[in-house]
Amino acid sequence: MTNPNAVVSDTQSAIAMAITAAVNSPSLFSRTNITLFPRNKFPVTTKNIETAGKNIAWVEAMRASSPTRKSSQDNEDKKAWIMKHPSALGMFEEIMSAAKTKQVVIFLDYDGTLSPIVENPDQAYMDPEMRKAVKNVAKCFPTAIVSGRCRAKVCNFVRLSELYYAGSHGMDIKGPSSRKHQQGNQNVLCQPAKEFLPMMAEVYKILIEKTKDIVGANVENNKFCLSIHYRCVKEQSWSDLAQKVKSVLKNYPKLKLTQGRMVLEIRPTIKWDKGRAIEFLMESLGYTNSKDVLPIYIGDDRTDEDAFKVLRKQGQGFGILVSKIPKETEAVYSLQEPLEVMYFLQRLVAWKRSTLHSHERV
Ligand SMILES: O=P(O)(O)OC[C@H]1O[C@H](O[C@H]2O[C@H](CO)[C@@H](O)[C@H](O)[C@H]2O)[C@H](O)[C@@H](O)[C@@H]1O
């Protein structure tokens, strides 16, 4: 079940994507003539994780076949993908022409979108220039950070009190602590998985104990969800790690397992995700069923797909996927990396200022 045409940027991505492929439906590989990394079909079941373990040999095979230099087929695939999901920078004028009479609302994922992916999750700092860009965006438009991290942690990285924050994949939402925006209900607080808190704390302790012998494994407590990082775990121990996580989950049927970038995530089985979180935020801002709003969501991870899907379904606004490689996505546009996200945010601010000036001139 190898995918010799897969477009990979580096070995780690190749392995991560292979694990993803193993836990998701392998048949998705051949769904289009563009080679894509499948990103959907949640939740990852414990049975599928087992399959992933058994597929480590397959993962190795994929690694061996990962091109160190891009082939011309890879380039063709990328071109085709970019045609389908054009650069949000390249399409900026077109995007903003749709925004002229509308209220733009900005939703931003954190890791891989505002900060580069790094080995140590505690060191995923945001560049000061990026912080400035987000701050300026928040002066122009209601702005929310929607992250898998617990709210306190992501607030601490971003350090902008004028934003809305949705932590734990949207299960912990709070309005701005400063009063710089008068729009919507700023006292918003939403914690749909509150009853799971004692359970999450309990499972966190068990996971720490269970995984302590796996070198490089890192269990992160994100309050309403738990992240088990395997970025620094040797590939031969991945199966062992997945088995251990699975054995813990057996006793907690109200929890489910999902997957992000080199991370397994445990969450309550409630119907709540980043998509529901942005619906909730739009409602709090007073934009439910409004035709005069243009929500823009920028994210890099599979969990962001839930938000992209909501925007597609509503036929309002659009998602922008941050990725250097072709991936299956519900996003309309793409940006390659956090640096491009920053340029996009800066252009948004310049656009807003120019529209204000042109109104003044009239
Ligand atoms: O929704 P996000 O804000 O993108 O958060 C998703 C997860 O991000 C973090 O993990 C990811 O970034 C780390 C730092 O760059 C990287 O080491 C890790 O491999 C990535 O999966 C965060 O640590 C998780 O808790 C979030 O769920």
302 lines ligand 1 (CB under 6 A): no
ipTM: 0.99
284 lines ligand 1 (CB under 6 A): no
**Does the pLDDT value for residue 188 go beyond 80?**
no
Per-residue confidence (pLDDT) for residue 359, from 0 to 100: 60
Per-residue confidence (pLDDT) for residue 12, from 0 to 100: 43
273 lines ligand 1 (CB under 6 A): no
Calculate mean pLDDT across residues 157-169.
97
Question: Comparing C-alpha atoms, which of 160, 140, 181 is closest to residue 349?
Answer: 140
Per-residue confidence (pLDDT) for residue 9, from 0 to 100: 34
Interval between CA 269 and ligand 1 midpoint (Å) = 20
Q: Which atom of ligand 1 is nearest to the CA of 227?
A: 25
Q: Which residues of 42-62 are buried (b: 16+ CB within 10 A; e: fewer)?
A: bebebebbebbbebbebbebb
Q: What's the mean per-residue pLDDT of the chain?
A: 83
β-bridge mates for residue 296, sequence order: 106, 318
Q: Which atom of ligand 1 is nearest to the CA of 117?
A: 15
94 lines ligand 1 (CB under 6 A): no
β-bridge mates for residue 256, sequence order: 267
Sheet containing 255-260: which strands, arranged edge to edge? 218-221, 226-229, 263-268, 255-260
Pocket-testing residue among 154, 263, 303, 304, ligand 1, by greatest number of atoms within 8 A of Cβ = 263
Per-residue confidence (pLDDT) for residue 324, from 0 to 100: 94
15 lines ligand 1 (CB under 6 A): no
319 lines ligand 1 (CB under 6 A): no
262 lines ligand 1 (CB under 6 A): yes
Per-residue confidence (pLDDT) for residue 257, from 0 to 100: 94
Calculate mean pLDDT across residues 197-218.
98
147 lines ligand 1 (CB under 6 A): yes
Separation between Cα atoms, residue 331 and residue 318, nearest integer Å: 7
Do residues 329 and 39 lie in contact, with contact meaning Cβ atoms separated by under 8 Å? yes
Do residues 145 and 164 lie in contact, with contact meaning Cβ atoms separated by under 8 Å? yes
- Band of residue 65 on the pLDDT scale cut at 50, 70, 90: very low
Interval between CA 182 and ligand 1 midpoint (Å) = 31
Residues 269-326: tens digit of each pLDDT = 999 999 999 999 999 999 988 889 999 999 999 999 999 999 999 998 999 999 999 9
**Does the pLDDT value for residue 55 go beyond 50?**
no
Q: Which atom of ligand 1 is nearest to the CA of 220?
A: 25
pTM of the predicted structure, to 2 decimals: 0.84
CB-CB neighbours of 10 under 10 Å: 12
Residues 13-26: tens digit of each pLDDT = 444 444 444 433 33
261 lines ligand 1 (CB under 6 A): yes
Separation between Cα atoms, residue 245 and residue 232, nearest integer Å: 16
**Does the pLDDT value for residue 32 go beyond 50?**
no
275 lines ligand 1 (CB under 6 A): no
C-alpha to C-alpha distances, 4 to 7, 65, 66, nearest whole angstrom: 9, 6, 8
Upper half-sphere CA count for residue 201 (Cβ side, 13 Å): 5
Separation between Cα atoms, residue 234 and residue 254, nearest integer Å: 30
Separation between Cα atoms, residue 80 and residue 85, nearest integer Å: 9
